[in-house]
Amino acid sequence: MPKKQVILIVDDDPNNFDVIEGLLYKYDYKLFYTSNGKSALAQIDSIKPDLILLDVMMPEMNGMEVCQIIKEKKEWQCIPIIMVTALNDKNDLAQCLEMGADDFISKPVNGVELAARVQSMLRIKSQYDSLQEMLELREEMTSIIVHDLRNPLANIILCAGILKMPNLPQEIYRQKLEEINSSGDALNNQIDTLLQMAKIQSGKLVLAYKETNLSDLFNTELKSFQNIAKANNINLILKVPDTIKYFFVDTQLIRRVVQNLLSNAIKFSPENSDIICELNYFDHSFEIKIIDSGKTISDQQKELIFKKYQIGESVEGAKQIGLGLSFCKMAIEAHNGTIRVENNPEGRGNVFIISI
């Protein structure tokens, strides 16, 4: 359920609040009322208004003074203020704007005009909040991405330093070369994922369609994951049709999707469990299923996990950046296909289903 937008009404006459409440009742806003400027300033942090309707003529501290204080405080500057005034002199109205007011409305208040101006200001505030959330998310994810890129890079530097040591045993030499190669692949994969996602989102990615034997692709990818699966006491089971059928797809993108799904399945599956990789052919389409025995994804999380930089639930010991499934969704949709997740009908676990 979307959060109700909050409006703080500041007016020394409670009858004016009743009028505004009556004019705005059908819009389902959350209204707060206070009778003076000092009380309004004291409540802003707790109420967190999306908009302030501020009377100009008030005792002790008038609306212009209150408006100026609000706009001088950095964390409050984003709150739109509509001055509600009986003043008609252009100099007075200009002074309201100079104090930082975003708009004004004259008394007696007209219901249609009030609703329009309130909606306009709330729309601006909503856009501002969305932008701030995006900037915060970008900053957070930049830190995560830099951290994830730094780890394999640090390993490459460390291994390269070890290789410079004199009289290094051949076994250690080969091991460190393999670690460098593995870390380099990890770096390359993460960078490729980010670049391809950016291209897909901007509409600049041109799919390199190629006639592809999906059974061979599946076989190859499962072989590459066998060692990782065995290390986690997980059994990979392949189910592909006996007949060979070719489909025109971007082979590299589909390969990356399968890799992401297999990697996730292994990462989140318990020891001594099975992961079933199933490929089904139809007349002019195909279906891929990755069936695991991990923690069942809730209905609420089934949509969330495909969004960029979103994860379902944190799992101890499992690195989660929130890009893999988002990339899969973009890549499959670029093929005019669909990807979804369902509960494993055999019990605990999930079934990721791709249809193209």
Which tens digit of pLDDT belongs to each residue from 68-80? 999 999 999 999 9
Amino acid 314: pLDDT: 43
CA atoms within 13 A on the CB side of 146: 6
Amino acid 316: pLDDT: 43
Low-confidence ranges of the chain (pLDDT < 70): 1-2, 89, 137-138, 140-145, 147-148, 197, 201, 203, 308-323
Amino acid 141: pLDDT: 62
Superfamily of domain 209-355: Histidine kinase-like ATPase, C-terminal domain (3.30.565.10)
Amino acid 7: pLDDT: 93
**Which residue is it, tokens 């599956």?**
269
For the chain, the structural domain boundaries read: 6-109, 137-202, 209-355
Burial of 306 (0-12, 13-18, 19+ CB in 10 A): buried
Q: What is the DSSP string of 200-242?
A: HHHT-PPP-EEEEEHHHHHHHHHHHHHHHHHHTTEEEEEE--S
With beta carbons less than 8 A apart as the criterion, state whether 186 and 154 touch.
Answer: no
Amino acid 191: pLDDT: 81
Looking at CATH, the fold of the domain delimited by 137-202 is given as Helix Hairpins (1.10.287)
Q: Taking the complete model, does pTM exceed 0.85, yes or no?
A: no
Provide CATH code, domain 6-109: 3.40.50.2300
Question: In angstroms, how far is the first alpha carbon of the chain from the final one?
Answer: 33
> In one letter, which amino acid is 173?
Y
Alpha-helical segments (H) within 48-89: 63-72
With beta carbons less than 8 A apart as the criterion, state whether 50 and 6 touch.
Answer: yes
